[in-house]
Amino acid sequence: MTPAPHAHANPIPNILTGFRLAAGVVMFLILAGATGGVPYLSEYLSPADQFALYRAAFIIFVIAASTDWVDGYLARRWHATTRWGAILDPIADKVLVTGAILGVLTSGSVPQIAIPCGLILFREFAVSALRETVAGKVKLPVTTLAKWKTTLQLFALGAQLFARNWDGFGLEFEWLPYFQAFADVLIWMAAVITVWTGWEYFEKARRKMSQI
């Protein structure tokens, strides 16, 4: 059972959620700058500067992604669930995931994951639109599989970001193709589960709407 929201709850879980939301935007801007997306500034970046930006974006992503579990755990442990937290948490997840996807795709060297990345984005926007459309009529609580979906998305995108900065970490280049293949498998798995959970939401909404 989901704990009832508290008006004067400990603010730390919401602060962590807000951090994740802001981190998603900052991470995307850093990735855009590393790939030449910032006018005038990007053209002065050396390869070393670009790797440094990728490292910074990757570190921000890892820290922000870790708060996805921490803020929820603290909110439950401290009985600090709030309406704002319930609203901001899925938004922060979607901003972080979307920012990472766009950041990876701007590198222009990963056409093999364009389809799964697109499927993830389409599903997230479609489900958000569905929730808004049926709000007040049908309740669509987050399923357990959907929670694991977000975890897999973050893990897969973290692997993709790590692969983008492989040389920046001083790792042997001969291992990069193997790791890239592993990261690509993860993103495809995430896309399949993402689409599946999206279909579950639409099917549940269809059944409940037909009963109204």
Taking the C-alpha atoms of residue 212 and residue 205, their distance in angstroms, rounded to an integer, is 11
pTM for the predicted model, two decimal places = 0.89
Taking the C-alpha atoms of residue 194 and residue 201, their distance in angstroms, rounded to an integer, is 11
Taking the C-alpha atoms of residue 181 and residue 160, their distance in angstroms, rounded to an integer, is 10
| The pLDDT value given to residue 2 | 47
| The pLDDT value given to residue 164 | 86
pLDDT digits (tens, 9 = 90+) for 89-137: 999 999 999 999 999 998 777 889 999 999 999 999 999 999 989 988 8
Cα–Cα nearest to 62, from 98, 100, 91? 100
What is the DSSP code (8-state) at residue 142? P
pLDDT confidence band for 40 (50 / 70 / 90): confident
Assess whether pLDDT exceeds 70 at residue 4: no
- Residues contacting 77, CB < 8 A, separation 6+: none
What is the DSSP code (8-state) at residue 108? S
Token pair belonging to 136: 């007040």
Contact 109, 31 (CB under 8 A): no
| The pLDDT value given to residue 8 | 64
